[in-house]
Amino acid sequence: MFNEIIVNVHAFETRVAILEDNKLVELFAEKKEKKLLVGNIYKGIVKNVLPGMGAAFLDIGLARTAFLHFKDIDINTLSEAKKKLFKKNDSSLIRKILTPGQEIVVQVKKDPLGKKGARVTGKLSIPGKFLVFMPNGKKIAISRKITSAQEKTRIKKILGALKDDSVGLIVRTDTEKIQEEDFDQEYSGLAGTWKLVEKQIKFAKGPACIYDENDLSFTLIRDLFNSSIDRLVVDDKKLRARIISRLKPVTPELINRIELYKEDSPIFDAYGVEKEIETIFKSRVNLPSGGNISIQQTEALVAIDVNTGSYVGKGSYDDTIEKTNIEAATEIARQIRLRDLTGIMVLDLIDMRREKSQKLVFNELKSAMKRDRAKNKVYPFSPLGLIEISRKRTRPSLLLTYSEQCPHCNGTGRLLSRDSVAVKISRWLQRASYFLKKDPLKIVVHPNVMEFVTTNPDIFSNIKNKLEFDSNPRIALDKFQVFSLKNNKELTVRYNA
């Protein structure tokens, strides 16, 4: 498999696309006005402590207060008396551990989303390319994906001699076979960063951000660009230089894989990314054989439905369904990564009569989801024939990044039908008839509603007022305005239900 990272830099936003065999599988967008906050460290001030929720709300300098749960308090930062309280594991005791006005250092776990503020933790960490530096820890934890007992022993021996006793380390997956000098170099860099943070903790006045880890060049090197990536192409000289300068002391052997895009045509057009991005916001995704999947996002969960569509197959019915579901499983895994869908996802695959088919589809889905870097779990078929997937949220989905709630439908995705709007107007007129008597009225509607009213005049046959209809394409399909023809005053709000 040939893996590429394509980076497009614009004054307003920077986009990062990950391609596997020329197919878009992940897309990240960093907007100038919507910068990610996960990983940033803040010196905050406790605003409210709610024992009933076992949580506190903190002012960290953002528009909304941040949420800190009892379990996310770092015991190592507490006094001995408060440590005893914390060890009782009673979240209502948070009122005795935190008090309004108290300063506290926290790190963002989850970005603010909609009306929710950021979720924060007191357990701080500074991630590097190979290691995660835990300033208040002591242990060395190694990624489960490193399975060799010999390699684990080697890494622990190197890091045990290297690290300070008061510091903990988490060894990342990409660390396997890394040499001692590389560990030494990264550890020194992370320890140096922590010293700067410690100074900020001591002298900065809250609320304030004291560590910002969301610089794109840093994120690229730490999370995305590793030995499994064959090429990184970027269309901006300054960003390329920043990436190289950060990469040089850590993994210089990857520098020759970085290319500067110099052509006149936009980079995402040249690599076919722009066309694929357009499909992200469509609810329907076509499958190679002719079937399709439908993806619907709600606030509580994501519903994914599979259909055979135009595919009729060449063999038995069971073979047709099995092939469609296997194709769907592969594409669903790609769409989850691409759209960055999170939370609970419910998959309604086409019913399969053969247990063998169910196993094949389930294994295909699990295998495809293993390529996902986000933490996820795929649950077996339920008695209703549904598959559930849970996936951890680390940032807002692309739909939330690139869209906003429709002011007309308020996020439902649907509007009143033309006939329903006409009936609504009829009821409004009946409600107002006692007050307006036989006053002549002008009603302004959307052209689509106007067309329905013109072809169905009987709908207002019981109305005694003289009515004059006018169309305006600027008015929403499900809205209308009523004016008095006597003085041209609008009356709509006055007689609403």
* Exposure of 285 in the CB half-sphere (CA atoms within 13 A): 27
Beta bridge pairs of residue 282: none
State residue 32's pLDDT score.
66
Is residue 338 within 8 Å of residue 24, measured between CB atoms?
Answer: yes
Which among 26, 16, 17, 44 is positioned nearest to 217, based on CA atoms? 16
Tell me the one-letter amino acid at 220.
L
Is residue 475 within 8 Å of residue 442, measured between CB atoms?
Answer: no
How many CB atoms are closer than 10 A to CB 351?
10
What are 8's two structure tokens? 């497009």
State residue 82's pLDDT score.
92
Sheet holding 441-445, edge to edge: 467-471, 441-445, 480-484
Q: Is the entire prediction scored with pTM above 0.75?
A: no
Is residue 171 within 8 Å of residue 200, measured between CB atoms?
Answer: no
Separation of alpha carbons 69 and 84, rounded Å: 18
Mean pLDDT to the nearest integer, 212-239: 83
Q: Residues near 126 by Cβ (< 8 Å), separated by ≥ 6?
A: 132, 133, 135, 190, 193, 194, 197, 211, 213
Mean pLDDT to the nearest integer, 159-180: 84
State residue 346's pLDDT score.
96
Q: What is the pLDDT of residues 43-101, one digit of tens each?
A: 999 999 999 999 999 999 998 999 999 999 999 889 999 999 999 999 999 999 999 99
What are 380's two structure tokens? 């077996």
What are 107's two structure tokens? 């790190």
Mean pLDDT to the nearest integer, 315-319: 81
Q: What is the pLDDT of residues 177-194, one digit of tens each?
A: 778 888 887 888 788 888
Separation of alpha carbons 316 and 357, rounded Å: 13
Domains annotated for the chain, with CATH where assigned, are 3-35+214-274 (3.30.420.40), 41-121 (2.40.50.140), 126-211 (3.30.230), 281-402 (no CATH), 418-495 (3.30.2320)
Q: What is the pLDDT of residues 427-444, one digit of tens each?
A: 899 888 888 888 899 999
User: What are the two backbone dihedrals, phi and then psi, of residue 35, each rounded to the nearest 5 degrees?
Assistant: -70, 145
State residue 242's pLDDT score.
87
Q: What is the pLDDT of residues 455-496, one digit of tens each?
A: 988 889 888 899 999 999 999 888 999 999 988 999 998 888
